[in-house]
Amino acid sequence: MDITGEYRIAAPRSAVWAALNNPDVLARCIPGCKDLARVSPEEFAAKVALKIGPVSATFAGTVRLEDVRAPEGYTLAGQGNGGMAGFAKGGAVVSLREEGDGTLLTYEAKAEIGGKIASLGGRLIQATSRKLADQFFGAFAAELGAPAPITDAAVTS
């Protein structure tokens, strides 16, 4: 499934870029984040607790930063294992563009799931994915003093 969205952030691109690379900021913004630690300049280890429909699980995984183009953006590649609940993996292209005295953040994410959570049905998974993306990017934008999103996140399968 594909998820896209954009946010106008009332902060200079350099400040948005710094926040996108700050584990403390990211940990506060990731829904259900229990732990986020930088293990190398390009990699984070994370533990995230999520509830998708009737299934609750704590996912342990990694996120790698690839194709880093400071301060324009990067590609995230991640995977997590939720034990009996299943797994999730995916990636996102995050781009930052100067717009007046602020920054336009756009993202295009792809997600793939398997195991018990995959049996919950496409609509529930899509709705939850969209909600989680909106929560993360909304919290991230709010962290930098931004208003609500320009457009709601869109999901396509």
How does pLDDT run across 60-119, given as a tens digit for each residue?
999 999 999 999 999 999 999 999 999 989 899 999 999 999 999 999 988 888 898 888
Residue 92: enclosing H or E segment and its boundaries?
Answer: strand 87-99
Q: What is the structure's pLDDT at 123?
A: 83
Q: What is the structure's pLDDT at 61?
A: 96
> Is the Cα dihedral 18, 107, 112, 54 positive or negative?
positive
Per-residue DSSP letters for 22-82?
Answer: -HHHHHHHSTTEEEEEEEETTEEEEEEEEEETTEEEEEEEEEEEEEEETTTEEEEEEEEE-
β-sheet bridge partners, residue 63: 44, 78
Average pLDDT score, the chain: 89
Q: Give the 3-state secondary structure of residue 140.
A: helix
Q: What is the structure's pLDDT at 150?
A: 53
Does 2-156 carry CATH code 3.30.310.50?
no
The winner for highest mean pLDDT among 3-7, 36-40, 128-132, 137-141 is 36-40
